[in-house]
Structure 1
Amino acid sequence: MNTQLKKNRIIILVIFAMSIIPFAIAWFLADNPGKVKLGTNNGELITPPLTTEASDFTGYDSFSADNIKELQGHWILINVLSQAECQQACQEGLYKTQQITLMMGKDIARIRRLALISNQAEQPLPKQWQEDARLLKALPSATLKATLQKVAAGEQPGGLLIMDPLGNLMMQYDPGYDPYKVRNDLSKLLRISQIG
């Protein structure tokens, strides 16, 4: 009889613990939302997305000025060049975006690359940029410069921003990002996207 009483008490304690533990976990997560990473994306979502207008982008050279309308209706990989010169991190970022577009295969037609040049007078274009037939180069408007200060990738050389076909800056990557992870995120976006 004594062993049966112990078993019953253990069963009651287990049932009590099973009903209390989920509430304790939920309470902890409600107080500490940063402890859980939701989603499967590798980049950081910009919430809420930052909107841009077509008039925020002005072609830097004649090729870009002629093709600046290509930004509308496409997914854009944006390298923001905020320093006076394109240093090593900036060069690597431009090279990585070139490789990402090549990795996209059949979806390459849905993607454009953009070098956003903040310091027009101080920044001579490197020779390899002039030879890159798919890289658009643009100057940001004052409004867009102010918008870019709200995101970390807009200030760091070598960072990357993704803009959707509606002109929303919606994802960012810190310098030194893995191009394969960006490709994975971009593939998911293109697969579920009903636009662009």
Structure 2
Amino acid sequence: MKTPQQKNNQRLIVLIFALSVIPFLMAWYLKENPELLAARTNNNGALITPPITTELSDFVGFDQFSRDNMKELAGHWVMINVIPKAECAAVCSKALHDTKQLLLMMGKDLVRIRRIAVLLNEVEPNVATTWWQDDTRLLKANANAALLQKIHTLQKSNPPDGLLILMDPLGNLMMHYAPGFDPYKVMVDLKKLLAVSQIG
């Protein structure tokens, strides 16, 4: 027959074992159900899980300025304006304008951020120039085949006009915003990311 002390010791051992196993079970459950974790975040944009990796070579400079400065993407947070068609209509034009204004709203953090317009279709340079004629610091790129596939995978359909994607300093596509996004909400997300980021 067990003494009260032995029973207490046995209960203590069971309790210690349970406390050590529960965190592993919770971690496994969240790994199997990542949408539960995403649902608890306060992001305004849609988190890309897992992030989609890119290479600098995926972005092919559209003009000489962009080719000379494409290396600026590395090590910076990047706002990617996706232009899927051979025209930049009102939604597309507004998205370009909004990211330009958004960069100015970032204050001292603007040096940590770059902007790029990524064209998914062939566009005549003289036509495209009219889309960003007053936007002298905007980088422009054609997407190579690998990047095209990654963006299509992200959307699971043809990407819409006005799509905005955030890329981290390591080249991971990690958040996206639907056309007509609110630049103030994007700013809130960016400020959170910059506050916790050790790079870029």
TM range (shorter): 0.7 to 0.9
Quote the residue 2:87 is aligned against. 85
**1:170 equivalent in structure 2:** 174
Matched to 2:166, the amino acid is: I
Contact 2:88 2:131 (C-alpha < 8 Å) held by counterparts? no
Aligned to 1:66: 68
Contact conserved, 1:79 with 1:160, CA < 8 A, in 2? yes
Partner of 1:186: 190
Counterpart position of 1:5: none
Structure 2 counterpart of 1:163, one-letter code: M
**1:169 match: secondary structure:** strand
CA contact (8 A) 2:49 2:174 kept: yes
User: What is the TM-score when the length of structure 1 is the normalising length?
Assistant: 0.79
Greater CA radius of gyration, 1 or 2?
1
Give the AA of the match of 1:143. A
Partner of residue 139, structure 2: 136
Q: In 2, distance between residues paired with 1:49 and 1:117?
A: 21
Matches of residues 34-113 of structure 1 in structure 2 within 5 Å? 37-113=39-115
1:117 aligns to what? 119
Letter in 2 for 1:187: K
Alignment match, 1:147 = 150
Question: What is the percent sequence identity of the aligned residues?
Answer: 53
Distance in 1 (alpha carbons) for counterparts of 2:142 and 2:131: 19
Do the aligned partners of 2:93 and 2:131 also contact (CA within 8 Å) in 1?
no
Q: Matched residues in 2 for 1:66 and 1:130: separation?
A: 18
Distance 2:63 2:129 in 1: 13
Structure 1 Cα separation of the partners of residues 94 and 133 of structure 2: 16
CA distance in 1, matches of 2:79, 2:53: 15
Query: How far does residue 132 in structure 1 lie from its aligned partner after superposition?
Result: 1.2
Partner AA of 1:101 in structure 2: L
Cα deviations by residue, 1:167-196 (Å, 9 ceiling, x for unpaired): 000000001111100000000000000010
What CA deviation, in whole Å up to 9, does each residue of 1:87-113 have, x standing for no partner? 111001101101110100000000000
TM-score (norm 2): 0.77
Work out the CA distance in 1 between the residues paired with 2:136 and 2:123: 23
Distance 2:158 2:111 in 1: 25
Structure 1 counterpart of 2:164, from 160, 164, 167: 160
Runs of 4+ in 1 over 4 A off after TM superposition: none
Across the aligned residues of Structure 1 and Structure 2, the Cα RMSD in angstroms comes to: 2.1
Amino acid at match of 1:179: P
- Kindly provide the amino acid, as one letter, of the partner of residue 46 in structure 1: I
CA shift at 1:58, angstroms? Answer: 1.1
**Shift of the alpha carbon at 1:151?**
1.7
SS of the equivalent of 2:39 reads: coil
Q: Give ranges in structure 2 of 5+ residues lacking alignment.
A: 1-32
Q: Which amino acid aligns with 2:199?
A: I
